[in-house]
Amino acid sequence: MEGPPRLDASSTFLVWRDPVEAWEENWTFVVLQLAMFALATATLVHALRVGRAGLLLWLAAVGHGLFVEGFCYALPELDNFHHGRALVAIFGGRMPGYVVVLYPAFYYSAAQLASMLLGGLGSQFSGLRALGRRRREASSEGVVDVELVATAALTGLLTALVDVPYDAMGPKLLHWSWHPDDPNVFERTGPFIPTTSFIFHITFAASWLLVGAAASRVARMPCCGKLGWIPALLVASLLPFPLGVMQIQLFYVVPHDLACVPTATCLAAAVGAYLVVIVLCAWWLRGGVTRRVDPSIRRVSALPVLALLSVFSCCFVAFAALADPAGLSDTGVHLPVAVSEEACSRTETMLSLGGVATKSMHLCSLPDGASSGGPLPLRPGDRSSFPLVGHTLPAAHCAMPEVPHPFRVANSASEAQAGVIRKWTMIGTEWGAEGPASTRAAMLMVVCWPVALMLTTVLAAWSLDRSPSLAHSKSD
């Protein structure tokens, strides 16, 4: 039975879009993309100034992101989201260009912030003194050391913090849409954020820095020669994926699928475990260490990167305060909409540790006032709009609530094939349409607290980086 396409590359590999048309349909999506490209450019400039080690980390983040996204598109069990039409995209429009640079923008910025925080604290308190030297000093004792583990753990937590406003506002503003009843993204934090998204960002960002920094250290060894950076880049791009998957199995899949532990509890366990790792590393390094300086790694101020990260985060506060989701739209390839009874009832079987899990293969059209999904012909140019409904299915043997859709179908942009329309116009819903948690005031609170925490963290890192004791430690 034919399902939705995994990689929509039927036209051309690289797809461009008229920026004026994109602005008229959804100005918030254009601002998001430009802000993401600006942040990614700042991280690239910083990486180039650091040297080969910084550039390896940046390129590894790009390679890691391409591998993760492509893997999700190709594997039915993980193909549970569709992006809006971007200014530039690959895979025939399936993967926006800004997502390609999202990983270095988020990961690299968080890594620099973590390094500044731990370095500043290490200079203020002797128990963490050694943590401030990782960026400019190479380990002469091993490829992976305690200070790298601490920085990687904090990078994972900070990446999740950066992701909160992005994940909270994206679906509501039609930047992308989640599958309505996929078990892996069913449980939400607030009305729109899959709780598993935070576990993903924490574990994968930490794995990226741990593997990337270790591979960089190996590549700098004399025995690797000048070409040692090539295999190091491949390892740093590919190895974080299985390492992150193993952590997700530990924190989420095993407790959730076997014992129906709520995803929020799994997230709390992951955050707690990472905090314990940071504290244990600080205790282990309480006496400090002496390391040999590697002149190939230059110390470069990350304040421009963190300044742009602050501006990027504030964009979502502006979206929540100024945007009207009901006036936004996006015409493109989205989650397939079924317009026949047969296509509406198709399901897909997924493997689960606790048993068999299923999800609907298509969205079902739902006329206003109807109580269940059914066939509703969508015609090109039809100005009527209809809400959608997905099958509320169990994930293994764990009961799941119904998840609302933050969008409606306006019309079809292509003819139906096999009872399914793949290209259609999505329009937004009013603030509060999905319940009290989706009002403008509620969404402002959702995005303001992580942005305020991020700004406070950046200010703390900047203050510690300029402190007299830190300056004194640099001259030691």
Strand order in the sheet with 363-365: 388-389, 363-365, 329-338, 420-428, 407-412
Long-range contact set of residues 282-290: C-beta below 8 Å, sequence gap at least 24:
282/127, 282/128, 282/131, 282/150, 283/127, 284/146, 285/122, 285/127, 285/128, 285/129, 285/130, 285/131, 285/146, 285/147, 285/150, 286/126, 286/127, 286/128, 288/126, 288/129, 288/130, 289/130, 289/141, 289/147
Name the phi and psi angles at 253, rounded to 5. Answer: -60, -50
- Give the model's pLDDT for residue 359: 73
Rounded distance, CA 399 to CA 357, Å? 11
Predicted TM-score of the model (pTM): 0.84
The bridge status of strand 329-338 relative to strand 363-365 is parallel
The bridge status of strand 14-16 relative to strand 355-360 is unpaired
Q: 45-82 burial, b for 16+ CB within 10 Å, e for fewer?
A: ebbeebbbbbbbbbbbbbbbbbebbbeebeeebbbbbb
Q: Which residues contact 292 (CB under 8 A, 6 or more apart)?
A: 137, 138, 140
pLDDT string in tens for the chain (476-residue length): 344 334 444 456 788 888 999 999 999 999 999 999 999 999 999 999 988 888 999 999 999 999 999 888 887 777 888 898 899 998 777 889 999 999 999 999 999 999 888 875 544 333 333 333 433 343 334 556 788 899 999 999 999 999 999 999 999 999 998 877 777 787 888 778 889 999 999 999 999 999 998 888 887 766 766 777 888 899 999 999 999 999 999 999 889 888 888 889 999 999 999 999 999 888 887 644 444 445 555 577 788 899 999 999 999 999 999 999 999 988 887 777 776 667 666 666 665 665 666 777 777 655 444 434 444 445 544 444 555 544 444 444 455 555 666 766 666 666 666 667 778 788 888 998 888 888 999 999 999 999 999 999 999 888 876 644 333 333 33
Tokens of 136: 């400019």
The bridge status of strand 14-16 relative to strand 88-90 is antiparallel
Rounded distance, CA 80 to CA 181, Å? 9
Rounded distance, CA 455 to CA 461, Å? 10
Tokens of 281: 């590393």
| Number of Cβ within a 10 Å radius of residue 444 | 15
Tokens of 181: 């009843």
Q: Which helix (H) or strand (E) holds 30?
A: helix 27-50
The residue with tokens 């051309």 is 12
Rounded distance, CA 243 to CA 248, Å? 9
- Give the model's pLDDT for residue 283: 81
- Give the model's pLDDT for residue 389: 45
Q: Which helix (H) or strand (E) holds 193?
A: strand 193-194
- Give the model's pLDDT for residue 100: 92
- Give the model's pLDDT for residue 136: 37
Name the phi and psi angles at 351, rounded to 5. Answer: -80, 140
- Give the model's pLDDT for residue 405: 63
Task: Indicate the burial class of 303 (C-beta count within 10 angstroms; 0-12, 13-18, 19 or more).
Answer: middle
Rounded distance, CA 177 to CA 105, Å? 21
Tokens of 59: 């390129």
- Give the model's pLDDT for residue 75: 79
